[in-house]
Structure 1
């Protein structure tokens, strides 16, 4: 019995050696995943895009502005002239934090009164907003400590008071940002897994050749192959959204057509990637390993699990090439913020480029493969 088992083990290693593609995936994937997790999980959130609305325009307001600008946690990218512009900047995803220095701040401190400073954070990402509020309060506390030290005071007194306000998700419930993301993740997993098996499965069983003995054309085959799974994905999306809104009470402030447009473009990308994997892989086992290899980086680097702002700069650059990054921006922006087509024009445009390009390449490659 031991000899038979030993021979079976040896046979499996021989088969693995004959399949260098699969062997490479098995060796490389853990290393890549370890590096990705190590960099993403171990880094604090920093360089949050920030807007400063200075309505006081005094030496004190400039020192507060400078304290935030010089901090590694905040990067001032906008200086709007009024508080009313903050919402539009957040809707467009330009900023995550806004600092509002009201008129009369220096006069209040001079008169020995407390000067309230507004800190507005974007609640569509609960992790970022929680950390941003804490960082802002920490900087304000440092400003007050410096003022007291300069005045020779040993106990606290009136100073700058950080009043944190959360837009869009005031309760900071993580479920409100997780459910919109799950819509994209579940759709991508189901479509990529199914489509990655589409051609390779029939090629392995020999039914692909039999199929084209019939009068069916390559284009008809592709449409017939894709359509059922697209319909199932639409049902999945509707079920997940309904459960999230009805059972978990996730607020929906957006436009159904914005969601539908974004998901349609994202589904084209998922189908295209699945078909390309099916064409590259020689066996279903290879296709499954490639899916696992791609799925973890997609979910980790897109901002679904960890904020993109928590990643090093080079990983943030990588996340810009991942389609899921943009569908998450569309779904969370529409669900939580109520952002429309104009506010989400950039991520929708990127999704359109990815969807059309990847789907077209995959369909053309599939047509060539099955008619060769």
Structure 2
């Protein structure tokens, strides 16, 4: 199939770019999947054909992300936002507190939901610094049920470079916007969760990687669909899962492996982000970034044009030139380029060139 399809320069924050090769394969298989005479969307989730797709996706995720055997992998629905509630419902046991590190809007929302289940506090926050940085230290209490962080902040453009040490207290991370963008030492975490719609596939699938001992001590007095054990015991097939989303996630994982695995993907992401950050840093103040240099995200590059009217013109001309999704989040404004795994180097180079040309024309 031709790979010369005209594609937008897609910098959307999520749902976001998917690999062209994956989309083309899905297109080719859409009507007749593996000779079944049915689309994968029409297959019963109880069928052997779909179970093979499902199990292969889990196995490939475990292999590529180097998930140890003492962790369960489950596919859920409801996005990361439902996890904001499920995590404290399952793991915030009586007499304990939940410890949240606030580095942006999504960690604020996670804390808000946790308070419905018990004592939940923000032990550290960078809000006073307008969420421009990642904290250098995290306070861990003896009575903490867990410590929760957001590994990458899509709105403010910050990212944890090294993860905090929390001792015997489980570290739980919302990795929705940087999962599978680089190798991670899974053993540092009690749980990792992520919506798929940024680096793993289409919206509708949520991945949770949970250490078995954490599951064993979880609260069991919960509705069936709000217990992680329900999904572990049924291989994520207790009810009808988002079958097409899981199929696509599986194909994205195969694509990551074909790129050379996470080590190569990480190098690609560093190179892509550097193209845009260099355009910002070498602009003599024409552009300036939101995040402090040591906390800059490789996934979401947030920046402003020094002149507000020129910023509006920049976004207008960028859209006309085929760049999609460059407006910053409505809560902070400005500009944002989301450079997830599937965003090609060519798109990042084109944006950097556009930024330099715009500056030359308007400075």
Do both proteins adopt the same fold according to a TM-score greater than 0.5, normalized to the shorter chain?
no
TM-score normalised according to structure 1 size: 0.22
State which structure, 1 or 2, has the greater radius of gyration over its C-alpha atoms: 1
Higher helix share: 1
Which protein, 1 or 2, shows the higher relative CO under an 8 Å CA cutoff with sep ≥ 6?
2
